Amino acid sequence: MVAHIYAVAMATEQLSNAWTLFTQDQYHEATTAFRQLVEDHRATDEDRQQAEFGLGYCLAFLGEFDDARVCFARLRAQAADRGDVSAEHRALHQVGMVERMAERWSVAHACFIEERQLIQRLGSPDLKVAVNAYELGIVTLRQGLVAESRTWFELSLSRARNTTDLVAVGCAYRGLGDWEEAQGHAQEADRRWEAAEQAFRQAGEPKASEEVRRRRQPPQRESGT
């Protein structure tokens, strides 16, 4: 019994360390740590599932999309088998994220539409709707569905504002800025990006804030031109 408790504690610490590596963009090191925990049968089911989530994230960020799909598809199947709609929607969201990163826009679109149906079964909480609508805004913009994309981004902002999650607010403003830029509306895009930058800064997300700030900077001219 004592040995089991010790193993569980070690697994939890390893999980925390793996997420720290991930947030530091050390994806190869985090992948190793997450994979070790996934394969550690002394760990709790919850820790192993969290590790598989982390492993899927790392693989996606490393461009290993096929393996990332396997991780999140397995998590989704497990959630569906136990009737956990909340966990199923989270896993399906990550499948959609992988497809978006792989630039498989129509497949990602289908994932997020299906996720939206699961969210409706959960009562359509504001934050879940906001995050899902943001992703739908991205993929429909990439598909050239301009009007639909704008509708999704506006829904994302509207529902995000009903929450205390400033990251969701920032993402929605960033999406609207990208939409305006795609239509050639430079001034309106900058206004939206400014709001996104402020929201991310207030949320304590300097990387996201800096990424938006770079969007707002005009392209540098080459010397001599």
Instruction: Tell me whether residue 65 is exposed, middle or buried, using C-beta atoms within 10 angstroms of its C-beta: 0 to 12, 13 to 18, 19 or more.
Output: middle
Q: For residue 105, is pLDDT > 70?
A: yes
How far apart are the C-alpha atoms of 33 and 58, rounded to whole Å?
11
Domain 130-218 is of which CATH architecture? Alpha Horseshoe (1.25)
Binned at pLDDT 50, 70 and 90, residue 219 comes out as: low
Tell me, rounded to whole angstroms, the distance of Cα 54 from its chain centroid.
12
> Is the predicted pLDDT of residue 221 greater than 80, yes or no?
no
Is residue 116 scored above 60 in pLDDT?
yes
Q: What is the pLDDT of residues 194-205, one digit of tens each?
A: 999 999 999 999
Across 182-204, average pLDDT: 97
Q: What is the pLDDT of residues 25-73, one digit of tens each?
A: 999 999 999 999 999 888 888 899 999 999 999 999 999 999 999 999 9
Between CA 167 and CA 122, with CA 139 as vertex, the angle to 5 degrees is 60
Query: Do residues 179 and 195 make contact, with C-beta atoms less than 8 angstroms apart?
Result: no
pTM of the full structure: 0.88
**C-alpha to C-alpha distance for 133 and 92, rounded to whole angstroms:** 14
pLDDT at residue 110 above 80?
A: yes
Does 138 score more than 90 pLDDT? yes
Q: Which of 21-35, 96-110, 135-149, 210-224 bottoms out in mean pLDDT, i.e. has the lowest?
A: 210-224
Long-range contacts formed by 42-47: CB under 8 A, 24+ apart:
42/4, 42/7, 42/8, 42/11, 43/7, 43/8, 43/11, 44/8, 44/11, 47/8, 47/11, 47/12, 47/15
Residues across the chain: 225
Q: Structural domain boundaries of the chain? A: 130-218
